[in-house]
């Protein structure tokens, strides 16, 4: 049996609780990845399940896997048509003044030899929308925020948080800086809802990780 927790399972889908620090694809420099677990995640099926979407290596939580090519195609379409509801919890490395809001900032990818690639806010970038709600003020002046992205751009929540709040997510080495209190960028995919035709929707919730609990986010 795999040691990755399964949050939802039926004949065409699995939702796993991806651990923080585990990349979905095998890194160029080698090392562990989700690919190493896909055989174990067959769970009696002939085919290994395939990830439908992406989570950053540091991001923990709900990840949808399709158990056959037809399901993969249908789930991809649901994501493309923005029918999938995604909820994330993030810890912002500072105070958040307002209670809720919507961040509407187009994003574009840039790359430089010195800093590698990153996403930036750019008028000619791809439309990117994130709704957010302040959940809790934590000790040390940091804030637990719920994010509900409408679009699914790379690093969307991380860049939007930094621009909207003037602070990155805690521990983000790209859009902020590393923090001694944590060992990763503090972002967790807490809930996923995927509608399906002629079938009950997929609903999965990932419990709060230990590093969030340690900071008082429960």
- Once rounded to an integer, what is the mean pLDDT over residues 122-128? 88
> Is 171 in contact with 183 (CB distance < 8 Å)?
yes
Catalytic, 56? Answer: yes
- Once rounded to an integer, what is the mean pLDDT over residues 134-155? 95
Which run of H or E residues covers position 69? helix 69-80
> Is 66 in contact with 50 (CB distance < 8 Å)?
yes
Q: In the predicted model, is pLDDT for residue 1 greater than 50?
A: no
User: Cα(74)–Cα(207) distance, rounded to whole angstroms?
Assistant: 27
User: Cα(82)–Cα(130) distance, rounded to whole angstroms?
Assistant: 13
Q: In the predicted model, is pLDDT for residue 148 greater than 60?
A: yes
pLDDT of residue 97: 92
User: How high does pLDDT run on average in the chain?
Assistant: 93
* Tokens 């949808």 -> residue: 64
pLDDT of residue 114: 64
Q: Which of 136, 123, 124, 184 is nearest to 158 (CA)?
A: 184
Q: What length is written for the chain? A: 218
User: Cα(118)–Cα(132) distance, rounded to whole angstroms?
Assistant: 22
Instruction: Provide, rounded to the nearest whole percent, the portion of the chain with pLDDT above 90.
Output: 82
Bridging pattern class, strands 107-112 and 142-149:
unpaired
Of the two residues 123 and 104, the one the predictor is more confident about is 104
Q: In the predicted model, is pLDDT for residue 3 greater than 60?
A: yes
23 Cβ contact partners less than 8 Å away, ≥ 6 residues apart: 31, 32, 33, 34, 57
Q: In the predicted model, is pLDDT for residue 186 greater than 80?
A: yes
Q: What is the CA radius of gyration of the chain?
A: 17
Q: What is the DSSP string of 7-46?
A: EEE-SSEEEEEEPTT--SS--TT----GGGGTTGGGTT-S
Domains (ranges, CATH) in the chain?
6-214 (3.30.2350.10)
The pLDDT tens digits for 33-42 are 999 999 999 9
Q: In the predicted model, is pLDDT for residue 116 greater than 80?
A: no
113 Cβ contact partners less than 8 Å away, ≥ 6 residues apart: none
Q: In the predicted model, is pLDDT for residue 17 greater than 60?
A: yes
What is the 3-class SS of 177-200, one letter each residue? Answer: CCCCCCCCCCEEEEEEEEEECCEE
The pLDDT tens digits for 21-78 are 999 998 888 888 999 999 999 998 999 999 999 999 999 999 999 999 999 999 999 9
Q: Best-predicted range by mean pLDDT among 30-34, 119-123, 193-197? A: 193-197
User: Cα(19)–Cα(33) distance, rounded to whole angstroms?
Assistant: 10
Catalytic residue among 10, 36, 56, 104: 56
Q: List phi, psi (to 5°) of 105.
A: -135, 120
User: Cα(58)–Cα(197) distance, rounded to whole angstroms?
Assistant: 33
> Which region among 42-46, 200-204, 205-209 has the lowest average model confidence (pLDDT)?
42-46
């Amino acid at each position: 049996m795999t040691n990755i927790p399964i949050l939802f399972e039926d004949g065409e889908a699995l939702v796993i609780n991806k651990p923080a620090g585990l990349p979905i694809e095998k890194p160029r420099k080698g090392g562990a990845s989700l690919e190493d677990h896909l055989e174990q995640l067959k769970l009696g099926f002939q085919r290994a399940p395939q990830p439908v979407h992406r989570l950053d290596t540091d991001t923990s939580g709900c990840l949808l896997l399709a158990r056959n090519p037809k399901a993969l195609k249908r789930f991809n379409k649901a994501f493309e048509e923005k029918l999938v509801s995604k909820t994330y919890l993030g810890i912002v490395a500072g105070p958040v003044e307002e209670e809720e809001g919507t961040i509407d900032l187009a994003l574009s990818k840039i790359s430089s030899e010195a800093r590698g690639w990153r996403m930036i806010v750019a008028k000619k970038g791809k439309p990117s929308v994130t709704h957010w709600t302040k959940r809790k003020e934590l000790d040390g002046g940091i804030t637990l925020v719920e994010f509900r992205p409408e679009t699914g751009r790379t690093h969307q929540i991380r860049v939007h948080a930094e621009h909207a709040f003037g602070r990155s997510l805690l521990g983000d080495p790209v859009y902020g800086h590393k923090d001694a209190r944590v060992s990763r960028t503090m972002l967790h995919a807490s809930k996923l809802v995927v509608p399906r035709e002629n079938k009950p929707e997929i609903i999965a919730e990932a419990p709060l990780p230990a590093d969030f609990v340690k900071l008082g986010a429960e």
